[in-house]
Structure 1
């Protein structure tokens, strides 16, 4: 081995020795803290029972059909309000779609009466009524003009209206928002009565028609809050 290589190795060994000595003599206290965070979103799970109502068949003007629904919040988050979307289609006895004008005329004569009953024992009271045509075609603002809010505000409890939300008399104004919707795991009753309007005139063109009604209930979360 040449003198240069020996000399180089000697310098490297000396430097390594100095490094080891320095590491051994430099000591300090230390500590660590580790934090992990989990972000889990909740769920909005709105169901309606029953999903399919008994078919209303062989109807004539003047007939009425009371029906009851139960809106269920099966999610983990409270629901602040529920929107109702209405769609329908009309066919003849052969299952063929009728012309739009006739479909709308039939929907205009099928009235939905929104019912209210505090005790559950007395007869239901009709809070307001609207045609299926109006429910499907008017804006929520226009529909709201058809409701006698003053009459609603005289009822003794908080009432759910399908395109306004939960409303009640002035003494209920201080109820927190979280209890005026549907709390997680809770339910809300929804009672209606369908009525084939009797105009007092011939309605022969509305015979032998079939209307398929689809109601879509959409629940929305409560406002965000500090957690």
Structure 2
């Protein structure tokens, strides 16, 4: 015969969450545009998860509805996008490009594409948010742009939140 004793160790591994929220979910919805018009919009990215967001990737896609089927050029070439940073009420241009150049690219703060726009390398802490400002312009190229009359451009921006590096707990 012998004595024995048992202890049971109950352990839990709970994964954190990344939950990025865009407010408003539609950044821009404008009709009756003509060459030379500009639209400036502000939106907020919120981290509703329990983990800090280290970086956010921005992917751009769009579809053009050519109502008269007469487009010789991509409507996206004529939409200029300016990413703005609001520093003490003074806006500075972070990056200026056109939608057709953004399409298919993935911009990230880590590669300094939009580093000044996507925070000062801190990301978004859990429970916090950051405001962003963007300006769109239907560029007036001083040429005939009649082919775009009545057309629509449906822009899709996908914001992809990514966690920071793992750490010792």
TM-score normalised by the shorter chain: which range applies?
Answer: 0.7 to 0.9
* Deviation for aligned residue 1:84: 0.8
Residue 185 of structure 1: how far off its partner (Å): 0.4
Q: CA deviation at 1:206?
A: 1.7
Tell me the C-alpha RMSD between the 2 structures: 2.6
Unaligned runs of 5+ in 2: none
Which residue of the partner structure matches residue 144 of structure 2? Answer: 202
User: Any idea what SS the aligned residue of 1:159 has?
Assistant: coil
How far residue 223 of structure 1 moved from its aligned partner, in angstroms, is 0.5
Matched, 1:132 2:99: yes
Query: Which runs of 5 or more residues in structure 1 are unaligned?
Result: 1-25, 153-157, 168-176
Partner of 2:56: 82
Structure showing the higher strand proportion among its residues:
2
Structure 1 residues 186 and 103: alpha-carbon distance in aligned structure 2, compared to 1, 3 A threshold: farther
* 2:79 alignment partner, one of 110, 122, 125: 110
Contact 2:35 2:139 (C-alpha < 8 Å) held by counterparts: yes
Q: Partners of 1:188 and 1:38 in 2: how far apart?
A: 33
SS in 2 for 1:205: helix
Matched, 1:192 2:159: no
Relative to the length of structure 1, the TM-score reads: 0.65
Name segments (4+ residues, structure 1) moved above 6 Å. none
Tell me which residue corresponds to 2:168: 226
Structure exhibiting the larger radius of gyration computed from Cα positions: 1
How many residue pairs match? The answer is 167
TM (normalized to structure 2)?
0.86
DSSP 3-state at the match of 2:33: coil
Report the CA distance shift for 1:85/1:112 in structure 2 as closer, same or farther (over 3 A).
same
Quote the residue 1:9 is aligned against: none
